[in-house]
């Protein structure tokens, strides 16, 4: 039993060698190359005194030599070229000895930069277990259980590695396999390959037991109606790979058993996939819309919505003009208008907070101060709306020294009666204010 763990994958490998009389001799090898990690399984076919174990060892040695020394850079054809090179070497070796050409089945796999390249010839199997399904990656349109079909769809004899100087292995060289986290690759040779699709094997693969335990149990599990178990088995489990989407280049028939699916099953399978995709797409659209709505709400809440907006109160035209007049007895007015020798101290400002619904007329009825004086009073600068309108919540300083109420401005209230300032403050301007300041001695 061989087990190792690396940054992005781990593997376990074991062999039940078997005998040529019971389905051949099987072996496997795992090794590191300058290009990545290589995995090889081999099945030698023979009977009687014709033991293929020596041939299997030669095949493993030559593939290892090629993978470690020949390629200068990784490319999609490296595993295919390794099988072609090894087949030519084996063929020439037996030809020099005058022996008949012998052949083996072989699968060569390379894991490089989180990509999987593989090539195979003969009765070997490569499967991908995704957690729910087992995909047969070494299935080919022209391959069957008993042989390879020619152009006339007739079964022909399989060409194995070493039987001819030049062979044409099958490969995934057109597109690399890219696994995702949790995927398991299963390399098999011998009888064990016929049991991969059983429910018992799937239960073992789904279990949380260590990888080496899975390999041992699959190899030694008693399957009914089968000759004594023999074969080579390697299981790779991927973790911490960067791929978010699985890409499979083979599995053209999407097989889940050792036999091709019946033609009438295909439309029903495709229809089910289409039906499953619709709710998934609708769910994605729902969450996308929900996310956009949340972003819009945050922008509105942070930059647009103001829980305490300023309230602008426009003064109605019928209230803008007339202000309440105050009647002053003639004898009092004559006495107060007499000139004084010394200036009299003016009353200070009164603070007032504008309430909702206030108008200039209401403020005048309370303080008898013309709105022009309040708007142009320096402490009130910037506390009004457009065109000098009131804003609820603003704190104003009321200059009662310009009041026409004798209670608030006992010495100069006569200067600010409606007769002098006008019923709509039309007589008040900077000249009026300057004239009063000079008379008051300020």
pLDDT band of residue 440 (cuts 50, 70, 90) is: confident
pLDDT band of residue 29 (cuts 50, 70, 90) is: very high
What token pair was written down for 29? 């090898």
Q: Given a cut of 70, is residue 427 above it in pLDDT?
A: yes
- By CB atoms closer than 10 A (0-12, 13-18, 19+), residue 98 is exposed
Residue range 90-109: mean pLDDT, rounded: 86
pLDDT band of residue 314 (cuts 50, 70, 90) is: low
Residue range 256-283: mean pLDDT, rounded: 50
pLDDT band of residue 74 (cuts 50, 70, 90) is: low
Greatest mean pLDDT among 147-161, 242-256, 390-404: 390-404
Q: Beta strand pairing status for 390-391 and 184-190?
A: unpaired
What does pLDDT average to over the chain?
79
User: What are the C-alpha distances in Å from 64 to residues 19, 41, 108?
Assistant: 24, 12, 10
Among 78-82, 247-251, 298-302, the minimum mean pLDDT is found in 247-251
pLDDT band of residue 31 (cuts 50, 70, 90) is: very high
- Predicted confidence at residue 419, as pLDDT, reads 83
**Of 252, 6, 256, 216, nearest to 129 (Cα)?**
256
- Predicted confidence at residue 191, as pLDDT, reads 78
Q: Given a cut of 80, is residue 375 above it in pLDDT?
A: yes
Q: Given a cut of 60, is residue 421 above it in pLDDT?
A: yes
Mark 283-306 as b/e (b = at least 16 C-beta within 10 Å): eeeeeeeeeeeeeeeeeeeeeeee
- Predicted confidence at residue 112, as pLDDT, reads 92
Among 33-42, 43-52, 147-156, 178-187, the minimum mean pLDDT is found in 147-156
Domain boundaries of the chain, sorted by first residue: 2-260, 312-440
Fold for 2-260, please state it.
Answer: Phosphatase 2c; domain 1 (3.60.40)
Percent pLDDT > 90 in the chain is 32
Q: Give 85 or 270, the one with higher predicted confidence.
A: 85
pLDDT band of residue 147 (cuts 50, 70, 90) is: very low
How far is 368 from 175, CA to CA, in rounded Å? 92
Q: Given a cut of 50, is residue 149 above it in pLDDT?
A: no
How far is 102 from 159, CA to CA, in rounded Å? 10
pLDDT band of residue 426 (cuts 50, 70, 90) is: confident
> Each residue of 201-229: pLDDT tens digit?
899 999 999 999 999 888 877 665 555 56
Residue range 364-389: mean pLDDT, rounded: 88
Whole-structure pTM value: 0.54
pLDDT band of residue 302 (cuts 50, 70, 90) is: confident
């Amino acid at each position: 039993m061989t087990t190792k763990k690396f940054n992005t994958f781990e593997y376990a490998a074991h062999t039940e060698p078997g005998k040529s009389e019971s389905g051949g001799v099987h072996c496997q090898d795992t090794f590191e190359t300058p290009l990545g990690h290589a995995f090889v399984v081999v099945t030698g076919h023979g009977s009687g005194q014709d033991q293929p174990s020596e041939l299997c060892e030669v095949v493993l040695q030559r593939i290892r030599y090629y993978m470690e020394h020949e390629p200068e850079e990784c490319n999609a054809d490296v595993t295919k070229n390794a099988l072609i090179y090894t087949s030519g070497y084996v063929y020439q070796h037996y030809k020099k000895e005058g022996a008949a050409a012998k052949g083996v089945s072989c699968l060569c796999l390379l894991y490089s930069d989180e990509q999987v390249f593989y090539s195979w010839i003969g009765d070997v199997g490569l499967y991908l277990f995704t957690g729910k399904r087992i995909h047969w990656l070494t299935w080919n349109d022209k391959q069957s259980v008993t042989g390879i079909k020619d152009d006339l769809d007739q079964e022909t004899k399989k060409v194995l590695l070493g039987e001819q100087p030049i062979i044409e292995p099958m490969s995934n060289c057109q597109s690399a396999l890219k696994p995702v986290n949790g995927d398991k690759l299963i390399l098999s040779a011998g009888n064990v390959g016929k049991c991969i699709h059983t429910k018992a094997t799937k239960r073992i693969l789904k279990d949380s037991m260590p990888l080496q335990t899975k390999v041992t149990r699959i190899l030694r599990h008693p399957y009914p109606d089968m000759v004594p178990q023999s074969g080579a088995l390697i299981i790779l489990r991927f973790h911490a790979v960067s791929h978010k989407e699985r890409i499979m280049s083979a599995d053209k028939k999407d097989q889940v058993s050792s036999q091709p699916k019946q033609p009438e099953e295909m439309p029903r399978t495709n229809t089910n996939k289409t039906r499953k995709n619709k709710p998934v797409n609708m769910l994605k659209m729902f969450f996308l819309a929900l996310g956009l709505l949340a972003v819009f709400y945050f922008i509105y809440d942070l930059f647009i919505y103001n829980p305490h907006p300023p309230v602008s109160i426009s003064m109605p035209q019928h209230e803008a003009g007339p202000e309440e007049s105050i009647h002053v007895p003639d004898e009092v007015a004559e006495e107060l208008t007499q000139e004084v020798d010394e200036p009299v101290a003016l009353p200070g400002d009164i603070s007032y907070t504008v309430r909702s619904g206030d108008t200039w007329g209401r403020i005048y009825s309370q303080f008898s101060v013309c709105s022009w004086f309040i708007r142009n009073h320096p402490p009130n600068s910037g506390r009004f709306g457009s065109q000098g309108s009131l804003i609820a919540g603003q704190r104003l300083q009321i200059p009662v020294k310009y009041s026409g109420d004798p209670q608030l401005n006992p010495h100069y209230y006569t200067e600010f009666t409606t007769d002098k300032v006008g019923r709509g403050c039309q007589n008040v301007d900077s000249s009026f204010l300057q004239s009063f300041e000079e008379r008051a001695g300020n």
